[in-house]
Amino acid sequence: MEPDPQRGAPHYTNIPGHDEDIEVAPGLIRLAPDDAWRPWQRFQHLYAFPLYGLASLSWIFRKDYVKFFQAKIGQHAARHPRREYFNLFFYKALYYLFFIALPLLVVPLPWGQVLLGFVVLHLVEGVVMGLVFQPAHVVEGTSFPAPDGSGAMQEAWGRTPVANDGQLRAPQRAGQLFFAGG
């Protein structure tokens, strides 16, 4: 299976240790049944959805850097060409310039309102991302298979995502129209 250009590694839906999407706020949100249970997680149905609002902010200020500098992407060694280091820092700097610094300089509003607008933009984006991507992990009937002792899966690699992903089994016309346009 070739690396997914959007993720940097093959995507193995709902397979602990391989699917980074089920590692949401580790210790706060428990998506996989084999994850360690913590007493406060019995309330995650109350706080998880608002917490997804912070996902986008976390991504631009923290997650991109953490993921870039970790030793592995999924189960593959992370070896970035020098150009990718430049790309990360250059495009992050451009983002911060265009979405934070420039609006602070040119928008005729108090700086607090400009920053509030930036935060609200990301809170909405985080909630929408949660609505789009989390059903693959949290709807009834999704499975969380684990590799056997040799690291092999019972299902063929092409069948595993379809079998485990709640979004791929039962088409929901309204959701398809809203999120995919058709």
Residue 95 belongs to a domain: yes
Compute CA distances 74 → 19, 21, 29, 80, 132, whole Å. 7, 11, 20, 14, 22
How does pLDDT run across 41-62, given as a tens digit for each residue? 899 888 888 888 898 998 899 8
Residue 127 belongs to a domain: no
Domain count, the chain: 1
pLDDT category, 171, cuts 50, 70, 90?
low
Strand ranges inside 7-147, DSSP E: 72-73, 76-77
How does pLDDT run across 110-156, given as a tens digit for each residue? 999 999 999 999 999 998 888 877 777 666 667 776 767 776 666 66
The answer to whether the beta carbons of residues 21 and 172 sit under 8 Å apart is no
Residue 51 belongs to a domain: no
Residue 177 belongs to a domain: no
Residue 68 belongs to a domain: yes
| More confident site: 102 or 41 | 102
Residue 166 belongs to a domain: no
Q: What is the mean pLDDT of the chain?
A: 77
Lowest mean pLDDT among 13-17, 34-38, 132-136: 13-17
Domain enclosing residue 76, as ranges: 56-122
pLDDT at 75 over 70: no
Residue 81 belongs to a domain: yes
pTM value is 0.70
Give the residue-averaged pLDDT of 146-172: 61
Closest CA to 55 of 113, 154, 116, 125: 125
Residue 134 belongs to a domain: no
